[in-house]
Structure 1
Amino acid sequence: MPSVSEKIIQLTRELNYHNYLYYQENENTITDREFDLKLKELELLELENPQFRQPDSPTLRVGGFITKSFETVKHQYPMLSLGNTYSQEDLVNFDKRVKKGLDNRPFEYICELKFDGLAISLIYENGKLAQAITRGDGSKGDNITNNARTIKTIPLSLFGEKIPSKLEVRGEIYLPLKTFQEINNLRIEKGEAPMANPRNAASGTMKMQNSSVVASRNLDCYLYTLLTKEKICDTHFDSIQLLENWGFNVSKTYRKCTSLAEVIEYIAEWNIKRHGFPVDTDGVVIKVNELSLQEELGFTAKFPRWAIAYKFESATVETRLERITYQVGRTGAITPVANLSPVLLGGTKVKRASLHNANEIARLELHENDFVYIEKGGEIIPKITSINTGKRLPSAQKIIYASDCPECGTKLIRNEGDANHYCPNDQKCAPQVMGRIDHFISRNAMNIDSMGPKTIEGLVQNGLIANISDLYYLTYNDLNGLVLYSNDQSKGRSLKEKSSENILTSIEKSKTAPFQTVLFALGIRHVGKTVAEKLARHFVSLDNIKVATYDEIISADEIGEVIAKSVIDYFQNDANQLILSQLQKAGLNFQLNQKETNTRSASLLGMIFVISGVFNKFSREEIQDHIIQNNGKVSSNISSKTTYVIAGENMGPSKKEKAEAIGVPIINEEEFINMIN
C-alpha cells in the first residue's frame, strides 16, 4: 500500500495528465464525476498533510493564497516590446531592412495574431511550473506565480518528449470577450463601475492579492515564445508545435508566409475575421521564422530587428441613432449620450456612444434618426465618427441641445469659453449630490472603502445624508438595518452589524487624511489632485484659501484664470461654507502638516514629467505625488518642454512615438526611483 506522500504524488500526476488530455487533446478518459472524486481525495490528503503537497498540484487551480506584495524578479532574457505600425508603407520599409540585414538571402515570415492582454513569462524546471513573471519594465517583473497557477490553460506539469530541464515560455494572459461581458453585467447589477476593457481587466486581475478571486475570473492564456539555452528548434513555427505537444495552449492562427504580399494578405483576412473572434486582438505580429536569422539580425536598444507588430485600425460599423439622453456629473457637467440601435462591434453589443458636449453635436450636424458610423478603440463607450447623410430622411429635425437639467429641471448654464453646459442646482440635483459624495469617499480622495454607491444612494434616499459633511455625523443606529436596493427595486438587502461597524471605522480613519487630500475630496470644479496639491502647498491652510483674492490664487504655481474663478465661486457659496464648518468641527485636516512643509525636496525642480503605462512598485498617483513633493511638475501631454517620460507596462504607443520623434528621454520606474533617491 502506497504511503501518504506517494499517494499524493500519484494523484497529482494522474489528475495533471487528465487535464492535459482534456485541454490539449480534447479527450475525456474519465468522467467528470471520477475526476472530481479524485480531486476531492487529493484535497483532503493535502489538507491533512500539507508538507507533501506538490508544486504542480491541480488543487492550486482554485487559488486561496494571499500575497501582501509581489516579489520583483530579474528576467533572464529581457522582455522587450515590439515596434509597431498602422501603415503598410512601414511594413514595406521593415521588409527592406530585414532583406538588407540578411544580404537578400531567402527567409520566411511567420504571422500570428497580437492578443490584447498581459504579457507573461513562465519558467519551468524539470517539467514543472516554477515561476510566472510579468513584463514589468522589461528587465524585471513581478512574481505572480500563485495567481498564474489558477489559470487552467497554464500547465503545472509538462508532458511529452525533449523537454529541457529548464525552459522559459512567454505568452499573453487574457480575458475572453464573453467572460468579460459576464463580469461587467454582474458588476453593473451590483452598482459597481464596469471594467474599461478586457486587457485592463486581465492585467488588474493578475495583480490581485487574493488568488481565489483570480481563479473566479476564468482567465485564459495563449503561449507563443519558447526560450532555452539548448538549440532544440530551427524555426519559430517548429517551437510553437513543440509547445503544443508539451501541453501549452497555442493559437491556431499561425501562418508561414514566403513574401510581404502574403503577409499583407494575412493582415487583410484577419482584419475582417477578428470581429467574430472570441478574444480581443489588436493586430498582427510578423516575425522572421528562422531562429538563426533572428539571432543574426539582433536587437536595437528597444526592439528586435526581426519582428514588428501591425496594429489594426479601430473597428467601425453603421447603426441608427434612436435618441439622445443627458447625464449629470458630480460637478453638474452635462454629458450627452447617443442611444443607438444595438450593433455588434469588436465582439460586444453596442447600444451607446459618447457625444462629449454641444460642440460635438454641432460638429456632426446630428439629426433625428440619423444613420451614424461608430468606432471603438480601447474605450468601453464608442464614439460617433461621422454621419451617413445619404440615408437621412428629408423630414429629419436637427438635434437641439437640452436647455434644462434632465434630473431636476433647472435651466442649464454655459460659461464663456467652456465646452460643457452645467446644472447650477448643485445642492438639490440628485446626481450631483450623490456624485460629490461618491467622489469624496473614493480611493484617491478620503478612501472610505467600506461604502459603495448603493450605500450612498440608500443614505440619501432615506434622508440620512444630504452632503459630504453629514457622513461624519452618522451613527450605528442610522446604519444598522438600513435597506439598500439593487437596480431591481423589488430586491433589497439590509446593512448588518459588521458592515455598519466597518463603515463607521472607515469614516473615523478618514479623518487622518492630509489637507491636500481633503481639498481634492471637496470636489471643487477644475481642482484635480495635482491642483489641490499646488493650492495646499501655496496657501498652507483652508482659511488662507477661503479669503484669497483672485490675484493671489493665480499667483500659485500653474493656477490659471478658470481654476481661480472656480475656487472663488466655491468658497463664496453659503451652502459650501456651512459644509466646511461641519467638516472642520468633525476633525478633518484643514492645514498642511508642518512636517510636510519642511521636508519637501528640490531634486526635481524645473523638471516636467509625463507618466504613461502601468507600474509595479507605485501607482500612477503615487508617482505623481513623488514628483510634486520633489518640486517637479506633471503634464499629460508631451512637448519640447517635457524633461522625461516615465514609461510603465502598456505605455500608450502614440506617447512613445511622439517622445522618440522629438527626442524626449524615456525612463522606467526604477530609473525614476533612483532619481528621487
Structure 2
Amino acid sequence: MPNGAADMAETSVARAGRLAARLTELSRAYYAEDAPEVSDAEYDRLFRELEALEADEPSLITPDSPTQRVGAPPAESFDSVDHATPMLSLANCFDDEELAEFDRRAREGVGTEALAYCAEPKFDGTALNLRYEAGVLVRATTRGDGTTGEDITTNARTIRNLPLRLAGDTPPAVIEIRGEVVLARSRFDALNARLEAAGQKAFVNPRNAASGSLRQLDSRITAERPLAFMGYGIGHVDGTDVPAGLYDQLMQLQTWGISISPYVERVEGLAGCRAYYEAMAERRADLDIEIDGVVFKADAASARAELGFVARAPRWAIARKFPAEETTTTLNAVEFQVGRTGALTPVAKLDPVFVGGVTVSNATLHNMDEIARKDVRVGDRVIVRRAGDVIPEVKAVAERGVDTTPIALPEACPVCGSAVERVAGEAVARCTGGLVCPAQRREALKHFASRNALDIEGLGDRQIEAFVAEGLLETPADIFRLHAHRDALVAREGYGEKSVANLLASIEAAKATTLARFIFALGIREVGQTMARDLALHFATLDGLREEAKAYLARAAEAEASATTKADYERQMTAEGLQTVAGVGQRVARSIADFFAEQRNRDVIDDLLAEGVHWPTVNVSSTPQPLAGQTVVLTGTMTTLTREVAGARLEALGARVTSSVSKKTDYVVAGDKAGSKKDKAEKLGVALLDEQGLIDLLTQHEVGAS
C-alpha cells in the first residue's frame, strides 16, 4: 500500500476500535492473568482517550466497549458466580480542576450548594465481594467483569482478619460486603524474602502478590500469605436496615467485625475534599499499606439516589489519583526486551536518578508509537516518572541533546534472530519465533503441555522450568524425546521409577491429540481454543491451514502494492482465505500468517510430526452443527474411544469440550474412575452420560448431519 494511504489520519471509528481491543487485552492481563503489561498511568491514558472519543461520538459506544464494563471475564480455574448487585468501577480524576468539576456536577445534580462526602484511601489491592447469610460467610467472589466474578471462598476463608461470622446478635439475613484484599509493605517484604530463600520467584509489588495469592488453586498456599481485607462498602442487604450515610455504614461494618481504613472521614464540600487529599498525600509514604489515591463518595443516600449511575460507574463517587513522581535525567541508550508473548518493549537506559523513593536506571518507552509521539532520541534529557509507583517510564523530552540518535525498531529479534513483525494498526512489535525464542520458551512450553492444549499430565510449570534450566527442553518436540533422558530423570530429587514411568506414559499418550488442540498448543497469538477449533473445522488439515497462511501473505503483498487507500486494502483482504473463518479479522489473520511464515516455527512443527504427534481426520460438514452451543466435559477412562477422539467428534458436531464442570455444562461423560467431576455433575443436576450414552449421542447426530 502506498505511503500516503498508510499515513492517512486514522478515523475515529478505527481509533476507537483499536483502543477498545487494546484495553480489553490489557484488562484481561491485569485482572484474569495477574500479569500487567503496562503501567496504570498508560492504561488510564488509553481509557480516557476512548472515553473522549465516545463522548464526542456516542454512536461509537458498543456493548462490549471497555467503558461499558469493569475488569475482565473470570478465569476458568474457578466457578463463576453472579453478583447480587454489580461491582462497579469508579471514575478517576487527576487534578484539582477535575475534582472541582465532579463536585459541581454532583451539587447541580442534587440541587444543593454543598455536599458532604465520605472520604477514604484508595487501596492498591484486589477487590473482593463477601456474602454473609444469617451472619455466616457463605461465599467470596472476585470482581470479575463487574457482573460475574470467580468463587474463591476457600481462599478467602484463610484471610486472618476476615470474620467467618459477623459480630453481634442481629446480623442481616443476607448482606454482601465489598472491600479490598491487600498486603502490607512490611509483610510483602518478608514474603518476598521467604520466597527468594526458597529459590522461588519474588512478586513485583504488593498488589500482584495479593491478587496472585488470592487466586491460588491450592488454598494452603493462600493461607501462608499474610493477606488482609479492608471493607469499603455494602453491595446488597436483606433483612435489616443499615445506616443511610456511607460513613455510618462503614462504622456499622466495623461493629460487625469488618476491618476498615482508620483514615475514613466525613468531609464537607470541595474544600474538605481538597484538605483530605493533601493530608493523605503527605501521609502516603509512611503508610504500611500502599494507596494510589483517595476516594470521595456522596455520603447521603438521597444524593446518591438522585445522581444515579452511568454505564460503568456511579455519578456520586470519584477516585482522585495521586500524580506519579517525576524527575529529569539523560537517555543514554535503548535496549529491546522480549516478553513472554514475544512483544518487544523498548527500555531506556538512563543516568541513574532517584525518583518515587528508589534509584531508577531503566524506564519503559512502551512502544514505537509512543517513541514517535514523544519524539524521544538517544542523548536527550528526558522526564522520568515512576508511573503507578511501580513501572518507571519516560514521560517526555525535557531538552533536546546536542548529539542525538533516532530510535529504530530492530528487524530481527535480539534474543533469537527471528523476524520482527508489526501488524498495521498495532503499536506493539513482536518476535515471530514463538516456538524457538528463548525469551518465550518457558511460556510456550507451559502452554503446549497445558490441559487445554496437549494435556500432558505430570509436566507442569515447575517441571518445565526445571527441565529448561537443565537444558533438557528447548522446543516442544523435545518433550517427546525425554524418554532418552530416563536415567537422568529417575536420578533427580523427588523422582523415581514410578513417577518417571507415569510422566513418559503421559507424554506418549499426548501424541494422540486433535487438530484443534494441536493448533491451540502452538501458541499462535490471538488464537484461543474456540478459534483453533474453528480453524480445524474450516481447513480440515494442518497443511491446508499452512498453505492458506502462505497465500494470505502473498495476497497482502499484492494488496499493499495495488491499494490506493486503506479501505481499498481492507476490501481486498477480506474476500477469501483466512478471513472467511468466523472471528478471523485482519489482525488475527496476519498473526497466523506471520507464525507460519517463520521457518523456525515450521521446523518445530515438522519435528513434532516426526516424533509421532497425530490426530484423527477432521470431518467438515456444511450443514448446521447439531451440538452447537452445548458444553461437554469428559472425565474418567474410556474403553471404546479415547478422550481425544471423543472430544474431536464432539467438537466436529459443534460442541465445546471443556475440563471443568459448572452449572452451564450440558453433559458430563463419565468413564471408569470418573471421580470428583461426576460427583459435582450430580450435585449441580448436570446430565450424566456413560461411554455407551456418548456413543449413542455421537451416532445419532453424526447420522443426522451426514
Aligning the two structures, in what range does the TM-score lie when normalised by the shorter sequence?
Answer: 0.5 to 0.7
**For the residues of structure 2 that align with 1:594 and 1:191, how far apart are their CA atoms?**
50
Deviations 1:261-301 (A, max 9, x none): 3213333443564455433434432223345x357537448
Aligned to 2:625: 599
Deviations 1:561-583 (A, max 9, x none): 74475355247987346314315
Aligned to 2:276: 266
Aligned to 1:535: 535
1:581 equivalent in alignment to 2:609: yes
User: 1:267 is paired with a residue of what secondary structure?
Assistant: helix
Per the TM alignment, residue 308 of structure 1 is displaced from its structure 2 partner at its CA by 0.8
Deviations 1:418-474 (A, max 9, x none): 978888999986546666434433566434464466754664676645532231232
Q: 1:470 to 1:126 in 2, by over 3 A?
A: closer
Aligned to 1:327: 337
**For the residues of structure 2 that align with 1:283 and 1:353, how far apart are their CA atoms?**
23
> Which residues of 2 match residues 367-386 of structure 1 at below 5 A?
367-368=378-379, 370-377=381-388, 381-386=391-396
Contact 2:298 2:304 in 1 (8 A): no
Q: Structure 2 counterpart of 1:366, which letter?
A: R
Aligned to 1:210: 218
Question: How many corresponding residue pairs?
Answer: 526
Q: 1:130 to 1:474 in 2, by over 3 A?
A: closer
Q: Structure 2 counterpart of 1:516, which letter?
A: A
> Which residues of 2 match residues 499-648 of structure 1 at below 5 A?
500-501=500-501, 503-508=503-508, 510-511=510-511, 513-523=513-523, 532-548=532-548, 550=551, 553-554=577-578, 556-557=580-581, 558=584, 560=586, 562-563=590-591, 565-566=593-594, 569-570=597-598, 575-576=603-604, 578-583=606-611, 586-589=612-615, 591-592=617-618, 599=625
**For the residues of structure 2 that align with 1:630 and 1:224, how far apart are their CA atoms?**
42
Per the TM alignment, residue 220 of structure 1 is displaced from its structure 2 partner at its CA by 0.7
**For the residues of structure 2 that align with 1:142 and 1:404, how far apart are their CA atoms?**
41
> Which residues of 2 match residues 213-224 of structure 1 at below 5 A?
213-224=221-232
**For the residues of structure 2 that align with 1:524 and 1:306, how far apart are their CA atoms?**
42
**For the residues of structure 2 that align with 1:245 and 1:441, how far apart are their CA atoms?**
50
Deviations 1:117-162 (A, max 9, x none): 3433445567654554555666776654433321111134555798
Aligned to 1:672: none
RMSD: 5.2
**For the residues of structure 1 that align with 2:360 and 2:411, how far apart are their CA atoms?**
28
User: 1:516 is paired with a residue of what secondary structure?
Assistant: helix
Unaligned runs of 5+ in 1: 1-66, 485-492, 605-625, 632-677
Structure 1 residue corresponding to 2:475, chosen from 467, 472, 475: 467
Aligned to 1:151: 159
User: How does the TM-score come out when normalised to structure 1?
Assistant: 0.61
Q: 1:183 to 1:629 in 2, by over 3 A?
A: farther
**For the residues of structure 1 that align with 2:363 and 2:607, how far apart are their CA atoms?**
36
**For the residues of structure 2 that align with 1:182 and 1:593, how far apart are their CA atoms?**
56
User: 2:347 is paired with a residue of what secondary structure?
Assistant: strand
Contact 1:122 1:132 in 2 (8 A): yes
**For the residues of structure 2 that align with 1:134 and 1:424, how far apart are their CA atoms?**
35
Per the TM alignment, residue 222 of structure 1 is displaced from its structure 2 partner at its CA by 0.8
**For the residues of structure 2 that align with 1:134 and 1:508, how far apart are their CA atoms?**
38
User: 1:151 is paired with a residue of what secondary structure?
Assistant: coil
Per the TM alignment, residue 545 of structure 1 is displaced from its structure 2 partner at its CA by 2.7
Per the TM alignment, residue 259 of structure 1 is displaced from its structure 2 partner at its CA by 1.3
Deviations 1:570-622 (A, max 9, x none): 47987346314315xx2432753669996377889xxxxxxxxxxxxxxxxxx
Per the TM alignment, residue 213 of structure 1 is displaced from its structure 2 partner at its CA by 1.9
Q: 1:245 to 1:436 in 2, by over 3 A?
A: closer
Contact 2:125 2:210 in 1 (8 A): yes
Aligned to 2:92: 85
Per the TM alignment, residue 542 of structure 1 is displaced from its structure 2 partner at its CA by 1.0
Contact 1:122 1:168 in 2 (8 A): yes
**For the residues of structure 2 that align with 1:304 and 1:415, how far apart are their CA atoms?**
35
User: 2:127 is paired with a residue of what secondary structure?
Assistant: strand
Deviations 1:334-359 (A, max 9, x none): 54433557778778886643335566
User: 2:615 is paired with a residue of what secondary structure?
Assistant: coil
Deviations 1:48-79 (A, max 9, x none): xxxxxxxxxxxxxxxxxxx996584763xx24
**For the residues of structure 2 that align with 1:555 and 1:150, how far apart are their CA atoms?**
48
Aligned sequence identity (%): 30
Which piece of structure 1 moves more, 215-224 or 79-88?
A: 79-88
Aligned to 1:237: 247
Q: 1:159 to 1:501 in 2, by over 3 A?
A: same
User: How does the TM-score come out when normalised to structure 2?
Assistant: 0.59
**For the residues of structure 1 that align with 2:313 and 2:596, how far apart are their CA atoms?**
54
Q: Structure 1 counterpart of 2:270, which letter?
A: L
Contact 1:445 1:518 in 2 (8 A): yes
Per the TM alignment, residue 251 of structure 1 is displaced from its structure 2 partner at its CA by 0.4
**For the residues of structure 2 that align with 1:442 and 1:139, how far apart are their CA atoms?**
29
Structure 1 residue corresponding to 2:119, chosen from 85, 95, 111: 111
Q: Structure 2 counterpart of 1:373, which letter?
A: V
Q: Structure 1 counterpart of 2:514, which letter?
A: P
**For the residues of structure 2 that align with 1:303 and 1:334, how far apart are their CA atoms?**
33
**For the residues of structure 2 that align with 1:301 and 1:467, how far apart are their CA atoms?**
49
Aligned to 2:263: 253
Unaligned runs of 5+ in 2: 1-75, 553-575, 631-650, 657-706
**For the residues of structure 2 that align with 1:432 and 1:224, how far apart are their CA atoms?**
40
Aligned to 2:317: 308
Per the TM alignment, residue 238 of structure 1 is displaced from its structure 2 partner at its CA by 3.4
User: 2:378 is paired with a residue of what secondary structure?
Assistant: coil
Q: 1:207 to 1:592 in 2, by over 3 A?
A: farther
**For the residues of structure 2 that align with 1:246 and 1:426, how far apart are their CA atoms?**
52
Contact 1:297 1:305 in 2 (8 A): no
Per the TM alignment, residue 221 of structure 1 is displaced from its structure 2 partner at its CA by 0.8
Deviations 1:318-345 (A, max 9, x none): 3655754443467877544335577787
**For the residues of structure 1 that align with 2:617 and 2:358, how far apart are their CA atoms?**
49
Q: 1:313 to 1:543 in 2, by over 3 A?
A: same
Contact 2:334 2:347 in 1 (8 A): yes
Q: 1:294 to 1:532 in 2, by over 3 A?
A: same
User: 2:118 is paired with a residue of what secondary structure?
Assistant: strand
**For the residues of structure 1 that align with 2:599 and 2:227, how far apart are their CA atoms?**
49
Q: Structure 2 counterpart of 1:441, which letter?
A: A
**For the residues of structure 1 that align with 2:384 and 2:523, how far apart are their CA atoms?**
36
Aligned to 2:646: none
User: 1:474 is paired with a residue of what secondary structure?
Assistant: helix
> Which residues of 2 match residues 30-429 of structure 1 at below 5 A?
70=79, 72=81, 75=84, 78-86=85-93, 91-92=99-100, 94-96=102-104, 98-100=106-108, 102-104=110-112, 107-123=115-131, 129=137, 131-135=139-143, 144-157=152-165, 169-180=177-188, 198-199=206-207, 201-225=209-233, 229-231=239-241, 233=243, 235-271=245-281, 273-274=283-284, 277-291=287-301, 293-294=302-303, 297=306, 299-300=308-309, 307-312=316-321, 315-318=324-327, 320=329, 324-328=334-338, 334-339=344-349, 352-356=362-366, 364-368=375-379, 370-377=381-388, 381-389=391-399, 406-407=414-415
User: 2:377 is paired with a residue of what secondary structure?
Assistant: coil
**For the residues of structure 2 that align with 1:218 and 1:166, how far apart are their CA atoms?**
28
Aligned to 1:23: none
Contact 2:419 2:433 in 1 (8 A): no
**For the residues of structure 2 that align with 1:82 and 1:416, how far apart are their CA atoms?**
32
Contact 1:512 1:588 in 2 (8 A): yes
Contact 1:174 1:220 in 2 (8 A): yes
Aligned to 2:696: none
